[in-house]
């Protein structure tokens, strides 16, 4: 593939409802999109970075500069023989995996479109039905949380994940479990606790949780291994797993029994497939985490979730949960039984609503 043009766009999308985690409250997203063109065909990617470096070291303005000044020119230095080679081409960059993934996933989409294949099949996916769960942010009251859970269960979602932080944890989980004794329930701490909080986290063993996600530091494996040895509930690692090597080390150390794979966090499809394969070899289930993506990032998550070991419901939910209007057509929908069927058309399987997209653009740069 000869890359003719790379277009960077930043758009602003306002969430239907604020989303609160231990990091803070998100009302709107500055979304950075990458369009890669070859022979009149476009592939699309999304940088799942935040406005500030809260989740990891990346943020929108740094991501924009890196794509414009380093990665974009590097991509266009020579033709791309296969999307799978880009992980090595970009490996000279330390960190900034979400930024690398934005460009890498766009080329995967482009390659699949040029070959006339659905992206999910092109990457080796085999799951023709994706089970969906939801992630529910911290609410203003427990009553509000219970109402929101009921709404999502009525919509068919198969797994409920609630965010926790110190002061909003065991008592809240107890009330959720009292109201909904049989649902598939998990909690996500986003690194809000320390190993010294183990006695408190141990109390969560009483509530039959699917998992506790990333309770300790974002770069930790050792303390998670110590904590897992104290708990009956399975730990799931998110922020700590940025590569297949991290996954191998975490599993061998006993730091987790489940892994969340986020396409951006690990640097794109090539590394996500390697993480998936490591977990599968150790019989550790994986699932797809979300980053409040637009429809482009959401469509990439659908493709990734078709890999064989994505055996737990992920955070791949309907567009309408987050946006009054998404930037793709058709928008992502979830069935009454809480599933998504991967699309059959080439590439992502969704088209970008260009007119609506252009109305949201706050800056643009074209690399030719």
Q: Which of 50, 161, 165, 262 is catalytic?
A: 262
Residue linked to tokens 């380093």: 70
* 269-281 helix and 97-115 helix, angle to the nearest 10 degrees: 100
Q: How many CB atoms lie within 10 A of CB 19?
A: 18
Instruction: Verify whether residue 262 is a known catalytic residue.
Output: yes
* 244-253 helix and 269-281 helix, angle to the nearest 10 degrees: 20
Q: How many CB atoms lie within 10 A of CB 266?
A: 27
- SS3 state at 365: strand
Contact assessment for residue 95 and residue 71, using Cβ atoms and an 8 Å cutoff: no
Q: Go through 276-311 and write b for each residue having 16 or more CB atoms within 10 A of its CB, e for each that does not.
A: bbbbbeeebbbbbbbbbbbbbbbbbbbbbbbbebbe
Instruction: Verify whether residue 144 is a known catalytic residue.
Output: no
Distance CA 56, CA 70 (A): 20
Contact assessment for residue 264 and residue 101, using Cβ atoms and an 8 Å cutoff: yes
SS (H, E, C) 6-52: EEEEEEEEEEEEEEEECCEEEEEEEEEEEEEEECCEEEEEEECCCCC
50's tokens? 């935040």
Q: Which of 50, 161, 163, 165 is catalytic?
A: 163
CA distances from 311 to 5, 72, 237, 240, 259 (A): 38, 35, 16, 20, 11
Residue linked to tokens 């090539």: 270
Catalytic residues: 163, 262
């Amino acid at each position: 593939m000869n890359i003719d043009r790379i277009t960077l766009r930043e758009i602003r999308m306002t969430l239907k409802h604020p989303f609160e985690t231990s990091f803070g409250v998100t009302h709107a997203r500055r979304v950075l999109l990458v369009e890669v063109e070859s022979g009149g065909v476009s592939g699309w990617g999304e940088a799942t970075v935040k406005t500030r470096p809260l989740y990891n070291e990346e943020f929108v303005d740094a991501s924009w500069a890196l794509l414009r000044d380093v990665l974009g020119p590097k991509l266009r230095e020579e033709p791309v023989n296969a999307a799978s080679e880009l992980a090595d081409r970009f490996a000279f960059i330390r960190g900034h995996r979400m930024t690398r993934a934005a460009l890498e996933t766009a080329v995967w989409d482009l390659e699949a479109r040029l070959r006339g294949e659905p992206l999910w099949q092109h990457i080796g996916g085999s799951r023709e039905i994706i089970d969906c769960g939801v992630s529910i942010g911290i609410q203003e009251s427990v009553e509000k949380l219970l109402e929101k859970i009921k709404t999502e269960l009525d919509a068919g979602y198969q797994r409920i994940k609630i965010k926790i932080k110190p002061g909003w944890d065991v008592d809240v989980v107890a009330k959720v479990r009292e109201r909904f004794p049989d649902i598939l329930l998990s909690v996500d701490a986003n690194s809000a606790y320390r190993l010294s909080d183990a006695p408190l986290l141990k109390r969560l063993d009483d509530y039959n949780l699917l998992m506790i996600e990333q309770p300790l530091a974002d770069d930790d494996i050792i303390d998670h291994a110590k904590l897992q040895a104290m708990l009956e509930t399975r730990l799931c690692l998110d922020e700590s797993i940025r590569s297949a090597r991290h996954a191998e080390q975490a599993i061998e150390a006993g730091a987790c029994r489940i892994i969340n794979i986020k396409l951006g966090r690990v640097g794109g499809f090539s590394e996500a497939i390697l993480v998936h394969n490591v977990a599968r070899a150790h019989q550790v289930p994986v699932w797809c985490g979300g980053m409040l993506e637009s429809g482009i990032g959401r469509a990439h998550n659908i493709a990734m979730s078709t890999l064989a070991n994505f055996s737990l419901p992920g955070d791949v939910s309907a567009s309408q949960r987050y946006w009054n209007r998404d930037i793709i057509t058709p928008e992502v929908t979830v069935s009454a039984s809480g599933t998504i069927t991967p699309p059959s058309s080439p590439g992502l399987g969704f088209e970008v609503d260009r007119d609506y997209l252009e109305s949201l653009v706050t800056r643009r740069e074209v690399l030719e």
